[in-house]
């Protein structure tokens, strides 16, 4: 058997396919929910000497800080992977039917596994002895490659989690989690409890509720008890960490966007849908971006396409006004991203921010418009969010006086700080600090 870690390095560049949806996706995006990838090998596992194991909801299947001697093929049910430390839990991912747990490490690599796998529903699994499983890997190269790819996914997810908890804002964590779940599964509905979502993104209940409310008000998600519906994934992407925005996620076939929402985007000439879908006008034989400023067609004359190539294959010509063949054309996108990066660094210095925005290449009214198109929020509101976020961090992580926190977060007066804080959290900064200590 060749060096497994060399194989792993090669597999890292593979693109993978979601079997449920048939969509290609890249390994670059963290995967929070995995299933079906080993379903093609089920008959192979059934040929081996195996034991059928049954687990009730809440039972531990593979305990952390131990050596695992067996591999489990999930025949039914759902399992969560998490890191347990001092009675605290950090959720990493869910695993469903047709997947293998725990993660595989070659026998020559001696390691105590730190990740715990727990049943979150009734689970049936085929348990295969570790030595027998390694014999299978040596005999079936495709299985071996898929097992190493699974290990790579976990490595990538762990790296992403470290970066996320260290570098990303709370809003970015929530948006990135929801968006990458959508990208990797193709499902707009996500059944997850508030407690589990807190554990995934590393936020307390108050902050999580705040960011979910923000995304609801931005019309990108809807929420009911235990269920989140992603209604505008292309807008949700704008709130994600840049690390995820620039990774090699393949374009999604947005079949989850209803024709009603597509028609609304065309009527509103909503630029945020450019590059998400295209429409052809049967009466003219021309296809356009949703934001096209040409005369609006009748609804019954419209045909929708997932890519410009499909529109061309159907016999439509390119609109010379909006140039739909130029994917997601937006000459100001890089400029607005530079503005946001600058605000991220200098948000707490009012004088520097005022000077920067005043001296920008375009007038403030147009800047506000471009910023809102891309992030669905004005620069002023974005700065305010960043200041409040820093204030919350200092209130919960330090013993500094409230006045010092207000000033270091960029507020010039206590009255405005108290007013804005109470508007966001429904309580004063001092009350918030006390409530966090009592959690």
**Which residues are annotated as catalytic?**
288
Q: Which residues contact 399 (CB under 8 A, 6 or more apart)?
A: none
Beta strand pairing status for 79-85 and 227-230?
unpaired
pLDDT of residue 285: 94
Q: Chain-centre distance of CA 167, in angstroms? A: 15
Of 61-75, 256-270, 293-307, the one with minimum mean pLDDT is 256-270
The answer to whether the beta carbons of residues 77 and 123 sit under 8 Å apart is yes
pLDDT value at residue 145: 83
Delineate the domains of the chain, giving CATH numbers in brackets.
Answer: 4-166 (2.60.120.10), 168-245 (1.10.10.10), 265-318 (3.40.10.10), 333-437 (1.10.10.60)
Start-to-end C-alpha separation, the chain: 52
What pLDDT does 360 receive?
A: 65
Average pLDDT over residues 233-255: 62
Lowest mean pLDDT among 78-92, 254-268, 311-325: 254-268
Q: What is the DSSP letter of 80?
A: E
Paired tokens of 434: 């006390």
- Rounded to a whole number of angstroms, the CA Rg of the chain reads 25
Asked whether 291 and 274 are in contact (CB, 8 A), the reply is yes
Let me know: does 368 contact 383? Beta carbons within 8 Å.
no
Question: What pLDDT does 246 receive?
Answer: 55
pLDDT of 316 strictly over 60 = yes
Question: Cα dihedral angle (407, 413, 417, 419), rounded to 10 degrees?
Answer: 180
Mean pLDDT of 230-236: 82
- At 361 the pLDDT is 57
Across 88-102, 210-224, 233-247, least confident range: 233-247
Say which residue, 112 or 138, is predicted with more confidence. Answer: 138
Instruction: For residue 3, count other CB atoms closer than 10 A to its CB.
Output: 9
Better pLDDT: 259 or 394: 394
pLDDT tens for each residue of 2-21: 333 333 332 233 333 333 33
Confidence tier at 333 by pLDDT (50, 70, 90): low
Residue 16's pLDDT is: 35
Contact 230, 221 (CB under 8 A): yes
- For 410-431, the pLDDT digits (tens) are 988 888 888 888 887 778 888 8
């Amino acid at each position: 058997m060749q060096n497994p870690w060399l194989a792993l390095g090669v597999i890292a560049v593979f693109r993978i396919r979601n079997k449920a949806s048939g969509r290609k996706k890249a390994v670059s995006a963290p995967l929070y929910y995995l299933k079906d990838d080993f379903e093609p090998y089920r008959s192979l596992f059934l040929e081996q000497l195996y034991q059928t194991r049954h687990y009730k909801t809440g039972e531990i299947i593979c305990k952390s800080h131990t050596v695992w001697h067996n591999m489990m093929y999930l025949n039914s049910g759902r399992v969560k992977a998490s890191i347990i430390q001092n009675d605290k839990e950090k959720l990493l991912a869910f695993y469903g039917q047709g997947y293998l747990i725990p993660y595989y490490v070659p026998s020559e690599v001696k390691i105590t596994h730190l990740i715990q796998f727990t049943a979150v529903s009734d689970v049936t699994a085929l348990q295969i002895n570790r030595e027998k499983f390694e014999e299978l890997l040596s005999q079936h190269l495709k299985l071996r490659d898929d097992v190493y790819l699974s290990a790579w996914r976990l490595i990538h997810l762990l790296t992403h989690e470290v970066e996320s908890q260290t570098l990303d804002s709370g809003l970015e964590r929530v948006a990135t989690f929801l968006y990458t779940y959508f990208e990797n599964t193709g499902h707009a509905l996500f059944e997850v409890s508030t407690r589990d979502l807190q554990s995934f993104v590393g936020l307390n209940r108050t902050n999580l509720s705040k960011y979910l409310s923000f995304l609801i008000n931005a019309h990108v998600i809807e929420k009911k008890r235990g269920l989140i519906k992603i209604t505008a994934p292309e807008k949700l992407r704008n709130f994600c960490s840049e690390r995820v925005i620039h990774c090699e996620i393949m374009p999604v076939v947005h079949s989850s966007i209803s024709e009603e929402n597509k028609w609304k985007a065309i009527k509103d000439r909503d630029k945020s849908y450019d590059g998400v879908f295209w429409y052809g006008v049967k009466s003219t034989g021309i296809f356009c971006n949703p934001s096209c400023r040409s005369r609006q067609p009748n609804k019954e004359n419209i045909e929708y396409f997932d890519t410009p190539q499909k529109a061309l294959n159907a016999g439509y010509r390119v609109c010379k006004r909006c140039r739909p063949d130029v994917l997601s054309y937006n000459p100001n996108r890089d400029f607005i991203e530079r503005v946001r990066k600058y605000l991220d660094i200098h948000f707490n210095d009012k004088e520097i921010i005022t000077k920067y925005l005043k001296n920008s290449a375009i007038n403030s009214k147009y800047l506000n418009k471009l910023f809102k198109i891309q992030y669905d929020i004005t620069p002023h509101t974005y700065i305010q969010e960043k200041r409040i976020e820093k204030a919350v961090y200092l209130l919960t992580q330090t013993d500094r006086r409230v006045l010092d926190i207000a000033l270091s977060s960029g507020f010039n007066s206590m009255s405005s700080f108290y007013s804005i804080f109470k508007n966001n959290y429904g309580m004063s900064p001092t009350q918030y600090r006390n409530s966090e200590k009592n959690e």
